[in-house]
A and B are shown apart, each in its own frame.
Chain A
Amino acid sequence: MKILVCISNVPDTTTKITFTDNNTQFNNNGVQFILNPYDEIALARAIELTDGGNGTVTVINVGEATTEPTIRKALAIGATDAVRVNAKPHDAWYVAYQVAEYVKANPFDLILTGRESIDYNGSKVSGMIGELLDLPSVSIIKKLDIEGDKVTVEREIEGGKEVLTIPLPIVAGTAEGVAEPKIPNMRGIVSARTKPLNIIEPVEVKTFSEIISYETPAPRGHVKLVSADETAKLVDLLHEEARVI
């Protein structure tokens, strides 16, 4: 079994998000970058599925050289090898196109992404890769099992779940529940330094979107405190003032 896991390099979840240049650039000054938490779930499941010499896990990242610590982390967690497409990840279309081109030349049985990256939250890359390769894609899965050449996934739907069986290969975006993220051990960290990281150049592709600027949410006014004995007053405020009940 050959599994490809697409990984993103994203600001740590504790990051306070700010912008520079008149709100046109993300301010990465002092920001710690991490392996996207949903991609960690994908990687963990890929490692479980190939456990005991039952296959390989390749991680692929579209990014500049600054993403290499994150790629090494994925190798330390247990990926077999890594590929970095040497380019700025312009948008989801650009990233999906690069990955799809790589897969055309290097076929995989299963392609995993996180359900979304925690920076742009698009949930787009898995579906786009699927469409570009004419493969089935499932965007947000909570469970993934493989039996023979078939994969069974559980996907979230509003107020419930749906179970699908699909012949491999497929593309899927993993969410919580698929696997517990793995913490690299000492042996992993040491071996990560010598595992293969192939750097390839991007293919040319048209782009269809540009980020023009950023905004931060409007600050809220001061909190109105109500005493614990005045819950009726809170209900009044929610009804009369806020008009939400």
Chain B
Amino acid sequence: MSVLIYTENADGKFKKSTFEAVSYARAIADQNNTNLVAISIGEVSKDELTALGKYGAEKVLNVSNAKLKNFINQAYASVIAEAAKKQGADVIVLSNSFSGRGLAPRIAVKLEAGLADGAVSLPEQSNGKFTVKKTAFSGKAFAVVELTSANKVISLTPNSYKVVEKSVTSAVEDFAAEGNASDFKALIKEIVRSTDKVSLPDADIVVSGGRGLKGPENWGMVEELAELLGAALACSKPVSDSGWRPHSEHVGQTGIAVSPNLYIAIGISGAIQHLAGVSSSKVIVVINKDPEAPFFKVADYGIVGDAFEVVPKLIAAIKEYKASV
């Protein structure tokens, strides 16, 4: 018995959400006094792979088969399920990223495993029961799910478990795997990744704008604030529905759910559907000219005022703070 962690990479580099998932998987291995095996698929450097030992992976399986260079969920699921069987892993952990969502259900079917998607804390194991807390109702609640199968798959919500360094001696091994012939029907035509922008689901800080900003031409100051803070940009549903901003920035019940350390909402009143998507943010700052805006009820800090006055002042204050440190 061991724990297997799939370490997702982006252009050959592991992201923070991957290290979170490795730390989480290490803690599960510790709960069960067992080993943690990592599996990496694609072109990742030896140094990058060895560094997984810093977070507690005793063994790193490296699948560098050229056919598997780019992510194809069907083929990756075959490879990960095969590794789980060969390593005798009964708990498989991955990040609940966009790719993870395409992968986890297929692995679960292959291994006849219960799947806890979007886990937000470590499993509880007592009296032979294995339960995991996950988000439900789009952030309005959590569900505690018992996985009753022998094999278990857990996908971890980004930003919900802290990266923990726990150095172990780590060995990188090549793992020869091909996937099945029927796994390669999908052809990737194009991958566009804007590396200069912070990705919204993983972001530590999110700056979000609403209808109070009056039009897309006013996003300059929002972008400036985000850039200063190294934050990702987000928006409310009316904003993306009006085409002011792309759908990929829509945060809320029918958009993306985020759980950053800091969420700054500018000109967003706080409809229940929007609040659902941001409720697991650690700290919420609201800037709105309407003191009755529902968003203030769930905020930690607030400024009642016109965004067009407040945001430039906030930008100036952050510049000053940055200059002082």
Residues of A within 8 A of B (CB): 11, 13-17, 19, 37-38, 92-93, 96, 118-128, 130-132, 134, 136-140, 142, 152, 155-167, 170, 175-177, 206-217, 220-221, 223-229, 231-232, 234-239, 242, 244-245
C-alpha spacing A27/B309, complex, angstroms: 44
C-alpha spacing A245/B205, complex, angstroms: 9
Does the CB pair A220–B298 fall under 8 Å? yes
Does the CB pair A165–B189 fall under 8 Å? yes
Does the CB pair B302–A224 fall under 8 Å? yes
Across the A-B interface, the 10 shortest Cβ-Cβ residue pairs: A127-B105, A228-B305, A208-B114, A160-B193, A159-B199, A139-B102, A131-B109, A208-B149, A158-B199, A231-B317
Given contacts A93-B115, A118-B254, whether A220 and B299 have CB atoms under 8 Å apart is yes
Query: What would be 24 A-B contacts, judged by CB atoms less than 8 Å apart?
Result: A17-B140, A127-B103, A128-B105, A140-B102, A155-B102, A158-B97, A161-B192, A162-B71, A170-B186, A175-B247, A209-B147, A210-B145, A210-B146, A212-B131, A212-B144, A212-B146, A214-B143, A216-B140, A223-B301, A234-B317, A238-B301, A244-B261, A244-B262, A245-B318
Does the CB pair B116–A209 fall under 8 Å? yes
Chain A's closest residue to B257 (CB) is A121
Which of chain B's residues have a CB closer than 8 A to the CB of A128? 105-106, 108-109
Which of chain B's residues have a CB closer than 8 A to the CB of A163? 188-191
C-alpha spacing A142/B250, complex, angstroms: 13
Which of chain A's residues have a CB closer than 8 A to the CB of B176? none
Given contacts A128-B109, A131-B106, A223-B300, whether A214 and B136 have CB atoms under 8 Å apart is yes
Binds A, one of B85-93, B159-167, B208-216, B276-284: B276-284
Does the CB pair A231–B313 fall under 8 Å? yes
Which of chain B's residues have a CB closer than 8 A to the CB of A229? 313
C-alpha spacing A130/B183, complex, angstroms: 11
Which of chain A's residues have a CB closer than 8 A to the CB of B200? 159
Query: Chain B, 120-147, contact with A by CB distance < 8 Å: what is the 0/1 string?
Result: 0000000000010101111111111111
C-alpha spacing A130/B104, complex, angstroms: 12
| B316 CB–A CB distance under 8 Å | yes
C-alpha spacing A215/B313, complex, angstroms: 39
A92, A212, A236, most chain B CB atoms within 10 A: A212
Contact of B310 among A136, A208, A231 (CB under 8 A): A231
The B interface is mostly helix, strand or loop, or mixed, namely mixed
C-alpha spacing A37/B250, complex, angstroms: 14
Contact of B137 among A119, A126, A134 (CB under 8 A): A119
| B314 CB–A CB distance under 8 Å | yes
Which of chain A's residues have a CB closer than 8 A to the CB of B193? 157-160
Which of chain B's residues have a CB closer than 8 A to the CB of A37? 254
C-alpha spacing A157/B77, complex, angstroms: 17
Which of chain B's residues have a CB closer than 8 A to the CB of A159? 10, 193-195, 197-200
Measured CB to CB, the closest approach of chain B to A175, in angstroms, equals: 7
Contact of B109 among A132, A165, A167, A236 (CB under 8 A): A132
Query: Chain B, 254-267, contact with A by CB distance < 8 Å: what is the 0/1 string?
Result: 11010001100000
Contact of B98 among A38, A136, A139, A166 (CB under 8 A): A139
Given contacts A16-B272, A121-B117, A223-B286, whether A160 and B300 have CB atoms under 8 Å apart is no
Does the CB pair B282–A244 fall under 8 Å? yes
Contact of B285 among A118, A156, A234, A239 (CB under 8 A): A234
Does the CB pair B142–A17 fall under 8 Å? no
Measured CB to CB, the closest approach of chain B to A80, in angstroms, equals: 26
| B40 CB–A CB distance under 8 Å | no
Measured CB to CB, the closest approach of chain A to B316, in angstroms, equals: 7
